[in-house]
């Protein structure tokens, strides 16, 4: 674990894997923390120095006044890379992390080697969905976060997975209950306001887009849209709901490694 000092506070990160190996940055989804990637760590650290971090407003990272923007969260990633003297890295982000990845691909492609975006879209939801959630969380605080945790099991995992793996599902959803209400609401606004549909064509780094067949939050159609608008982008889909990295587990890890370890992506 480590901390990087930003202008407004500290960004929490964890760096694992062999020194000198290529760096792979992992970016968490809305309402989770860097622990959401635990399933991937044994496979990823065989080949990469893996840099995980808690997005602003999550986990042990700074919580500042909202609303946030995806540009602000992307700038945090660049500040983290600069502080650790990492010139270029692979990046893999899920959901909100996938929006951050798209922003980086559009605005800071020179800092990326390859880009993986998972269970995301160029635009996620509408204000009519986000605004009531933001208002509820700011009004009810921790009680609202506990309610969102209970509802998230059905959004994040298919019923068969949740029933077969109750402890794993609980570990992930408990992250949501412990997320700062202020930070969560501020990040909801960042997701609400992000729209990269007209900018995807400017992404030139090799890209893999991953979807979950049963993902009702960011359906495969949104992932297909990204893949179709980024030249040469690859596509993969797993039987999973929103957190495909957790539900698909080893298969998810292998697909990401297959993409990252090939010298040149087709």
Domain range annotation of the chain: 2-261
Mean per-residue pLDDT, 50-54 = 98
* pLDDT above 50 for 265: no
Inter-residue contact 32 to 175 (CB < 8 Å): yes
Pick the CATH number of 2-261 from 3.40.190.10, 2.60.120.650, 3.40.50.1820, 3.40.50.300: 3.40.50.1820
DSSP states along 66-81:
S---HHHHHHHHHHHH
pLDDT for the residue numbered 157: 97
Binning pLDDT at 50, 70 and 90, where does residue 264 land? low
Give percent of the chain with pLDDT exceeding 90: 97
* pLDDT above 70 for 16: yes
Binning pLDDT at 50, 70 and 90, where does residue 1 land? confident
pLDDT for the residue numbered 266: 39
Q: CB-based burial of residue 56 (10 Å sphere; 0-12 exposed, 13-18 middle, 19+ buried)?
A: buried
pLDDT for the residue numbered 263: 73
């Amino acid at each position: 674990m480590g901390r990087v000092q930003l202008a407004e506070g500290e960004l929490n990160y964890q760096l694992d894997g062999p020194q000198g190996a290529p760096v792979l940055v992992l970016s968490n989804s809305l309402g989770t923390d860097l622990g959401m990637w635990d399933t991937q760590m044994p496979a990823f650290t065989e080949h990469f120095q893996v840099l995980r971090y808690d997005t602003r407003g999550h986990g042990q990272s700074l919580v500042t006044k909202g609303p946030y923007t995806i540009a602000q969260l992307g700038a945090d990633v660049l500040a983290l890379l600069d502080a650790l003297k990492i010139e270029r890295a692979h990046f893999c982000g899920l959901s909100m992390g996938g929006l951050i990845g798209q922003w980086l691909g559009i605005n800071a492609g020179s800092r990326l080697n390859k880009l993986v975006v998972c269970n995301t879209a160029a635009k996620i939801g509408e204000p009519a969905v986000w605004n009531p959630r933001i208002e509820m969380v700011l009004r009810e605080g921790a009680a609202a976060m506990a309610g969102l945790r209970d509802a998230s099991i059905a959004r994040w995992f298919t019923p068969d997975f949740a029933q077969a793996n109750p402890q794993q599902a609980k570990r992930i959803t408990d992250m949501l209950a412990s997320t700062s209400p202020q930070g969560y609401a501020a990040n909801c606004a960042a997701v609400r306001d992000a729209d990269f549909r007209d900018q995807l064509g400017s992404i030139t780094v090799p890209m893999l887009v991953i979807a979950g067949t049963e993902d009702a939050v960011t359906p495969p159609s949104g992932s297909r849209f990204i893949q179709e608008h980024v030249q040469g982008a690859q596509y993969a889909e797993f039987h999973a709901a929103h957190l495909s990295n957790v539900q698909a587990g080893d298969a998810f890890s292998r697909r990401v490694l297959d993409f990252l370890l090939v010298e040149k992506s087709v």
